[in-house]
C-alpha cells in the first residue's frame, strides 16, 4: 500500500491556521477551501458565514528551501443568517462553496454561496490615497474659502495596504432547495448553481434572472428517488457540464442540445457489485464530489468509500478506482448511527493531473499517484509533525497486531475528519481543513 519503505513521505507540514484549543465554536468550523487560479490566494469559508483569504508571500530568495508562507490577506462576513418567513425556516449562513473567477485585472473576484444565495465578491487593494486637496483639510474638514490663496494638484501618496472586500452582486431567490455546488464557466461570463433538484445558469452581470437547465423534480414528490449532489462545468468546453446524483451516477450534459438539459448526453454509472449489497449500499454510492481534471479529459468522483476516475469517452465504468478507506465497509451500521455516513468528502487533482487526493477520518488524508499506482495515508496533526519535517505515512489495520505507525480501525476518531481539500494549481502545496484548522503541506524539494 505504501510505496516508501521507510514510511516517509515527500510531504512536510508547512503551516497550521486557526485556534489550537480543543474547544471549537460551531461558527469556526471550516466548510470550504479553495486556491485561486494562480495559487497566490487561498480562500476558506466557515459555518459562521465568514471568508478568510490567505496570500502567499513573495518568495524569500535567501531561503530557497522553504516556499513562501500564506498569511491572512482579508477577512469578511460573506453571508448572514436569514429567516424565511414564509416557510418558517432559518437559512444557515454556512459557506457551502467558494469559487474564484479567473483574474482579469488587479482586483480578485470570487463567488461564495450558502444554502440559498450566491454572492460575487470583489477583493481589491488600496495602497495609495490622494492627498493635497484644495478645499479640504487632511482630516476632511472643509477649509474656509477666504484661506485659499494658492492652488495645488492633489497627488497620490502611499498608505498602509488596505484590502477591501465588497459584494458586487447578490444572486438570490433562485433555489427552493439547498445549494450544493457552484461552478464558473470557462467563458468567464456565466456560472451554474445546483441544488438538490435543479441546476441554474446565471450570467455574472445579471442578478435578476437565471435559467433553469436541469430539473429532476418529479411531478409527484413521492416518486423522488434521487437528488443532485454535485455539479461542475467542463474546464475547457463552455457548453458541457456534469452533475452527480445520490444514486452514484454522473450525467454529462451539452447545453447546445437543448435549453433544458434533462436528457443527458452521457451517463457514467458503474453497476453495483451485488456481493456487497447492504442496507447502506445506496447511501455509500451517493456522489459527494465531482471534479474535472485540468486537462478536461478525465473526471473524478468521490463516494463514501472510493475515488473513481472516469475517462469522459467511456461511460460504462471508471478507468481507475481507489479505495479510500475500505476498512469502513464493515462499520457502516455504526457510521450510519453517528451520522458519519452522510459526510460529504471532497477531492482534488494535482495541477498536472498526475495525482489525486481526498480526506478521511482521524484527520487522515489520502493521496493517490495515478501512474505508479502508489498511495499514501498522511495525518494532519500539529502535534506530531513539525514544519519542514517529512510526514510519516500511516496504515490502518483491521487485525489486532500493531506495528509502528499503524492504527486499528476501532481506534479511529470519527469526529476528526478532513472533508475539504484544495491543491495549488502549479506548485505542490496542498491545503486541507480539519474541523477548525487549516493545514498547509508542501512537498520536499529534494
Partner 1 sequence: MEYKVEAHRIMSISLGKIYNSRVQRGGIKLHKNLLVSLVLRSARQVYLSDYYSGACLNAQSEREGNEWDITDSEREKFPPSTTECDRVESPEEPQLTEQPEASEKEREYRENDAEKSERVDCTSTSEQESNQNSSLDSVSTETTTESPSDTTVAERDSTPVVVNGESHQPPKTHVCSSNRKRSAEESESGDAPQKRTKVASSNTKEDEEEAEEMDTGNVSNLITIFGSSFSGLLSKDGTKPEAEAEESGQICCDQMLKNLNPWSTAIVAF
Residues found near partner 1 in the complex (CB under 8 A):
84, 86-92, 94, 115, 176-178, 180, 196-197, 220-227, 229, 246, 279-280, 282-283, 286, 333, 336-337, 339, 342
Nearer to partner 1, 55 or 286 (CB): 286
Nearer to partner 1, 27 or 411 (CB): 27
Query: Alpha carbon 423 to chain centroid distance?
Result: 10
- For 337, the enclosing helix (H) or strand (E) is helix 332-337
Nearer to partner 1, 113 or 229 (CB): 229
Q: What is the DSSP string of 50-70?
A: EEEEEEEPPP-TT-TTSPPPE
Half-sphere exposure of 156 (CA within 13 A, CB side): 6
Nearer to partner 1, 224 or 445 (CB): 224
Neighbours of 172 (CB within 10 A): 14
Neighbours of 264 (CB within 10 A): 18
In angstroms, what is the minimal distance from the CB of 56 to partner 1? 34
In angstroms, what is the minimal distance from the CB of 198 to partner 1? 11
Which residues make Cβ contacts (< 8 Å) with residue 315, sequence separation at least 6? 266, 267, 268, 269
In angstroms, what is the minimal distance from the CB of 201 to partner 1? 21
In angstroms, what is the minimal distance from the CB of 112 to partner 1? 17
Nearer to partner 1, 77 or 225 (CB): 225
In angstroms, what is the minimal distance from the CB of 81 to partner 1? 9
Mode of pairing for the β-strands spanning 406-408 and 395-397: parallel
Between CA 232 and CA 192 the distance in angstroms is 8
Q: Compute the radius of gyration of the chain from its Cα atoms.
A: 24
Nearer to partner 1, 280 or 382 (CB): 280
In angstroms, what is the minimal distance from the CB of 361 to partner 1? 19
Between CA 376 and CA 394 the distance in angstroms is 8
In angstroms, what is the minimal distance from the CB of 31 to partner 1? 12
Nearer to partner 1, 174 or 309 (CB): 174
In angstroms, what is the minimal distance from the CB of 113 to partner 1? 14
Give the angle 237-241-245 at the CA atoms, nearest 5°.
160
Which 8-state DSSP code applies to residue 410?
G
Between CA 281 and CA 332 the distance in angstroms is 9
Mode of pairing for the β-strands spanning 50-56 and 41-46: antiparallel
Query: Alpha carbon 415 to chain centroid distance?
Result: 20
Nearer to partner 1, 285 or 362 (CB): 285
Neighbours of 154 (CB within 10 A): 12
In angstroms, what is the minimal distance from the CB of 48 to partner 1? 13
Nearer to partner 1, 230 or 440 (CB): 230
Nearer to partner 1, 77 or 134 (CB): 77
Between CA 357 and CA 337 the distance in angstroms is 27
What's the Cα-to-Cα distance from 145 to each of 149, 150, 387, rounded to whole Å? Answer: 9, 11, 62
Between CA 428 and CA 354 the distance in angstroms is 11
In angstroms, what is the minimal distance from the CB of 24 to partner 1? 17
Amino acid at each position: 500500500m505504501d510505496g516508501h519503505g521507510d514510511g516517509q513521505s515527500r510531504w512536510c507540514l508547512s503551516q497550521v491556521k486557526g485556534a489550537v484549543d480543543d474547544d471549537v465554536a460551531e461558527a469556526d468550523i471550516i466548510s470550504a477551501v479553495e486556491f485561486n487560479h494562480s495559487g497566490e490566494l487561498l480562500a476558506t469559508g466557515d459555518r459562521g458565514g465568514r471568508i478568510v483569504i490567505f496570500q502567499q508571500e513573495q518568495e524569500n530568495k535567501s531561503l530557497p528551501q522553504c516556499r513562501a508562507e500564506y498569511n491572512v490577506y482579508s477577512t469578511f462576513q460573506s453571508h448572514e443568517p436569514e429567516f424565511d418567513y414564509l416557510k418558517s425556516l432559518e437559512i444557515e449562513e454556512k459557506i457551502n462553496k467558494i469559487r474564484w473567477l479567473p483574474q482579469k485585472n488587479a482586483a480578485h473576484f470570487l463567488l461564495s454561496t450558502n444554502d440559498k444565495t450566491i454572492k460575487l465578491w470583489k477583493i481589491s487593494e488600496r495602497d495609495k490615497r490622494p492627498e493635497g486637496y484644495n478645499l479640504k483639510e487632511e482630516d476632511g474638514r472643509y477649509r474656509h474659502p477666504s484661506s485659499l490663496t494658492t492652488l495645488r494638484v492633489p497627488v497620490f501618496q502611499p498608505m498602509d495596504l488596505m484590502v477591501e472586500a465588497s459584494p458586487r452582486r447578490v444572486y438570490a431567490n433562485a433555489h427552493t432547495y439547498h445549494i450544493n455546488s457552484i461552478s464558473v464557466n470557462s467563458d468567464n461570463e456565466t456560472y451554474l448553481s445546483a441544488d438538490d433538484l435543479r441546476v441554474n445558469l446565471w450570467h455574472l452581470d445579471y442578478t435578476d434572472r437565471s435559467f433553469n437547465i436541469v430539473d429532476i423534480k418529479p411531478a409527484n414528490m413521492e416518486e423522488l428517488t434521487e437528488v443532485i449532489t454535485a455539479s461542475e462545468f467542463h474546464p475547457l468546453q463552455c457548453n458541457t457540464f456534469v452533475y452527480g446524483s445520490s444514486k452514484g451516477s454522473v450525467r454529462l450534459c451539452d447545453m447546445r442540445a437543448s435549453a433544458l438539459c434533462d436528457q443527458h448526453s452521457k451517463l457514467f454509472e458503474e453497476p453495483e457489485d451485488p456481493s456487497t449489497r447492504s442496507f447502506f449500499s445506496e447511501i455509500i454510492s451517493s456522489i459527494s464530489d465531482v471534479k474535472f481534471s485540468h486537462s478536461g479529459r478525465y473526471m473524478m468522483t468521490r463516494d463514501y468509500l472510493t475515488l473513481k476516475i472516469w475517462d469522459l469517452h467511456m461511460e460504462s465504468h471508471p478507468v481507475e478506482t481507489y479505495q479510500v478507506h475500505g476498512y469502513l465497509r464493515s462499520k457502516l451500521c455504526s457510521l450510519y448511527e453517528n451520522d458519519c455516513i452522510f459526510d460529504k468528502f471532497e477531492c482534488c487533482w494535482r495541477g498536472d493531473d498526475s495525482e489525486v487526493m481526498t480526506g478521511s477520518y482521524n484527520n487522515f488524508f489520502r493521496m493517490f499517484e495515478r501512474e505508479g499506482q502508489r498511495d499514501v495515508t498522511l495525518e494532519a496533526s500539529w502535534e506530531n509533525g513539525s514544519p519542514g519535517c517529512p510526514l510519516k505515512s500511516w496504515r490502518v489495520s483491521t487485525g489486532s497486531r500493531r506495528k509502528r505507525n499503524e492504527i486499528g480501525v476501532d481506534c479511529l476518531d470519527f469526529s476528526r475528519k478532513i472533508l475539504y481539500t484544495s491543491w495549488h494549481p502549479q506548485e505542490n502545496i496542498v491545503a486541507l481543513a480539519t474541523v477548525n484548522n487549516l493545514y498547509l503541506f508542501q512537498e520536499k524539494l529534494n
